[in-house]
Structure 1
Amino acid sequence: MTNVLYIGNKLNSKRSNLASISVLGPLLEQEGFKLFYASTYNNKVRRMLDMLWSCIQYRKHIDVVLIDTYSTQNFYYAFLVSLLCRSLKHKYVLSLNGGNLPSRLNYNPRLCSILFKPASHLVSPSVYLKEAFASYGYNHVTYIPNSLQLEHYPYQEKSFDTIRLLWVRSFSEIYNPSLAVHVLKRLQDAGYDSELCMVGPDTGDGSFQATKMLAEDSNVTVRFTGKLPKAEWLALAADYNVFINTTNFDNMPVSVIEAMALGLPIVSTNVGGMPYLIQNGKTGFLLPTDDAVAFERAIIKMVLDVDRTQEMAARARAMVEGFDWELVKRKWFAVLDM
Structure 2
Amino acid sequence: MISNSFWPATDHCARRLEQGRGVLVPAKDDRALAAGVHALLSDCVLRAELAAAARRFAADNYSLQVMARRHEELYRELLKEKGFKPGSHSHSAAKIKVAIVAPSLRYVGGQSVQAELLLHNWKDDADVEASILAVDPELPTALAWLEKVPVLRTIVREPLYLYSLYSRLAEVDVAHIFSASYWSFRLAPLPARFIASLRGKLALINYHSGEARDHLQRFPEAVAVLKKADKVVVPSPFLQNVFQEFGIKADVVANISDLSQFKFRLRQPLGAKLVCTRGFHRYYAIDVVVRAFAEIRQQIPDAMLTLVGKGPTEQQIRELARTLGAQGVTFAGVAARDIIGEYYDRADVFINASVLDNMPVSIIEAFASGTPVVSTCPEGLQYLVEHERTGLLSAPGDVHALAQNVMRLIREPDLAERLAHNAYEECRNYTWEAVREKWLQVYRQLMVGQA
Q: TM-score, normalised by structure 1?
A: 0.92
2:200 to 65, 84, 89: 89
The corresponding residue for 1:214 is 320
Q: Distance in 1 between matches of 2:253 and 2:111?
A: 21
Q: Distance in 1 between matches of 2:108 and 2:360?
A: 19
The corresponding residue for 2:16 is none
Range moving further from structure 2, 21-30 or 294-303: 21-30
Please tell me whether the aligned partners of residues 17 and 170 of structure 1 are also in contact (alpha carbons under 8 angstroms). Answer: no
- SS at 1:21 equivalent: helix
Q: Distance in 2 between matches of 1:30 and 1:167?
A: 35
Please tell me whether the aligned partners of residues 259 and 365 of structure 2 are also in contact (alpha carbons under 8 angstroms). Answer: no
The corresponding residue for 1:174 is 283
Which protein has greater RCO, CA pairs closer than 8 Å, 6+ apart? 1
1:283 to 390, 394, 405: 390
CA separation of 1:327 and 1:11: change in aligned 2, threshold 3 A: closer
1:272 to 379, 389, 392: 379
The corresponding residue for 2:297 is 188
- SS at 1:273 equivalent: helix
- Paired letter, 1:165: L
Range moving further from structure 2, 250-259 or 100-109: 100-109
CA separation of 1:259 and 1:193: change in aligned 2, threshold 3 A: same
1:11: Cα distance to partner? 4.0
1:197: Cα distance to partner? 0.2
Q: Give the helix-richer structure, 1 or 2.
A: 2
- SS at 2:215 equivalent: helix
Q: Distance in 2 between matches of 1:163 and 1:44?
A: 43
The corresponding residue for 2:240 is 130
Q: Distance in 1 between matches of 2:284 and 2:111?
A: 13
Counterpart check, 1:325 vs 2:424: no
- SS at 2:123 equivalent: helix
For this pair of structures, how many residues does the alignment match?
333
- Paired letter, 2:214: S
- Paired letter, 2:129: F
The corresponding residue for 2:257 is 148
- SS at 1:244 equivalent: strand
- Paired letter, 1:119: A
Coordinate RMSD, CA, aligned: 2.0
CA separation of 1:179 and 1:156: change in aligned 2, threshold 3 A: same
Please tell me whether the aligned partners of residues 253 and 435 of structure 2 are also in contact (alpha carbons under 8 angstroms). Answer: yes
1:87-141 Cα shifts (integer Å, max 9, x gaps): 33221001111011121122223x12321112121111111001111222112x1
Range moving further from structure 2, 26-35 or 189-198: 26-35
CA separation of 1:217 and 1:327: change in aligned 2, threshold 3 A: same
The corresponding residue for 2:180 is 70
The corresponding residue for 2:168 is 58
1:327: Cα distance to partner? 1.6
Please tell me whether the aligned partners of residues 5 and 55 of structure 1 are also in contact (alpha carbons under 8 angstroms). Answer: no
1:161: Cα distance to partner? 5.1
Please tell me whether the aligned partners of residues 263 and 345 of structure 2 are also in contact (alpha carbons under 8 angstroms). Answer: no
The corresponding residue for 2:74 is none
Where structure 1 has 5 or more consecutive residues not aligned to the other structure, the ranges are none
Which of these two proteins has the greater Rg computed from alpha carbons? 2
Q: Distance in 2 between matches of 1:83 and 1:235?
A: 42
- SS at 1:73 equivalent: helix
% same residue: 23
